[in-house]
Amino acid sequence: MLRTLVTRLVSSVAVFLLIAVGLFALVRLAPGDPIEMMVPPEIGGADREAYTAAVRERFGLDQPVVVQFWRWLGGLMTGDLGYSYTNGQPVGELLADRLGPTALLMGSALLIGLIIAVPAGVIAAVRQNSIADYTISSVSVIAISVPSFFLGMLAIYFFAVKLQVLPSSGMHGTGRDDLGDLLLHMVMPVGLLALANAASFIRYVRSGVLEELGKDYVRTIIAKGGTPSRALRHALRNSLLSLVTVLAMTIPITLSGAVVLEQIFAWPGMGQLAIYALTNRDYPILIGFGLYIALLVLVCNLIADLSYSIIDPRVRTAR
């Protein structure tokens, strides 16, 4: 286990550095000049050139690209992601301030998605080719097929505009900062994100349980007088390997879905900040956001890989 952990950590660090270099290169190759967007339109002529030169010097953009890269990489090694072009604040602080709302949105959606998907997937597998199976499978396919932004606009129209039972934007209402108000604001974005996650998880839980129920050890348990519920418990545990893999892959996808829903519901998270940075060509924020995603993917894959050994002893023995 320790050897596997060290190997994975070393490879993850190498991959993270390659991603960092790739993000820096992509930003530098992007068309357009972000500094030009920072110059007030009323400044023109020689004053505009002097203002632009001063801004470039302030952010170190007057240096050769190689010098900029090594300076940026050195800062990255110490946790310094640079400064925002638009407001001059440290990128690390801007992302850290938005991390909590995004983590709350994603974590709640993943947890609720799992709570829905596991029993629904088991029911669909145990009652294969029944009305329950067809209903659960059909609903999951529809939930996956419909874009989240479309469902978000429908939810706002019905629940916020027509019925007026749920708030349509933000984390808190005006002048309110209590838990009940926060939960009301979470209902629509978390519900839609959880629905998409549950729809994806259900298919894998169903197929995994079906595969395990058809194996010899399940028939042996039944033949020796074991109850169907006992056989199902063994099958469910062994099918968790595929669910862990899917969960590790779903977390970055959930973040991409959160970016869309944060924009629709004005949720003050990292996704909303990334859209703002993209609109204003604030490249340091975009690079920082990309590094956060890369780190999230690598950490999730590492946890999933280590979880295999905990869930299935056969994996631990093979290593």
Of 88-92, 105-109, 228-232, 269-273, give the lowest mean pLDDT range: 228-232
pLDDT of residue 214: 81
- CA–CA gap between residue 60 and residue 272 (Å, rounded): 27
| pLDDT range class, residue 48, cuts 50, 70, 90 | confident
pLDDT at 319 over 70: no
Average pLDDT of the segment spanning 275-290: 87
Q: Is 18 exposed, middle or buried (0-12, 13-18, 19+ CB in 10 A)?
A: exposed
- Average pLDDT value for the chain: 84
Residue that has been written with the tokens 């994996």 in this structure? 315
Phi then psi for residue 177, to 5 deg, are -150, 30
- How many beta carbons lie within 10 A of that of residue 225, not counting itself? 7
Condensed to tens digits (0 to 9), the pLDDT of residues 178-197 reads 788 889 999 999 999 999 89
pLDDT of residue 221: 84
The verdict on pTM exceeding 0.85 is: no
For residue 138, the model assigns a pLDDT of 92
Residue 135 CA to its chain's centroid (Å): 28
Q: Please give the pLDDT value at position 215.
A: 82
Q: Looking at the domain that runs over 99-280, which CATH code has it been given?
A: 1.10.3720.10
**pLDDT band at 3, cuts 50/70/90?**
confident
Query: Which of 249, 245, 274 is closest to 259 using CA atoms?
Result: 274
| Position 51 confidence tier, pLDDT thresholds 50, 70, 90 | confident
Percent of the chain with pLDDT over 70: 93
Rounded Cα distance between 206 and 92, Å, is 41
- Tell me which of 59 and 104 has the higher pLDDT: 104
Predicted local distance difference test score (pLDDT) of residue 311: 66
Of 242 and 171, the one with more pLDDT: 171
- pLDDT tens column, 58-103: 877 778 888 888 888 888 888 888 888 888 889 989 999 998 999 9
Least confident range from 42-51, 160-169, 175-184, 256-265: namely 42-51
136: pLDDT strictly greater than 70 = yes
Looking at 188-202, 221-235, 275-289, which range is the least confident one? 221-235
Q: How confident is the model at residue 104 (pLDDT cuts 50, 70, 90)?
A: very high
Query: Taking the domains of the chain in order of start, what are their residue ranges?
Result: 32-82, 99-280
d(CA 171, CA 268): 7
List Cβ neighbours of 256 (8 Å cut-off, separation of 6 or more).
none
**Is 164 a residue whose pLDDT tops 70?**
yes
- Give the pLDDT mean for 247-271: 85
Q: Among 241-245, 260-264, 315-319, which stretch is predicted with the lowest mean pLDDT?
A: 315-319
Q: What is the DSSP string of 146-199?
A: S-HHHHHHHHIIIIIIIS--S--SSSS-TT---HHHHHHHHHHHHHHHHHHHHH
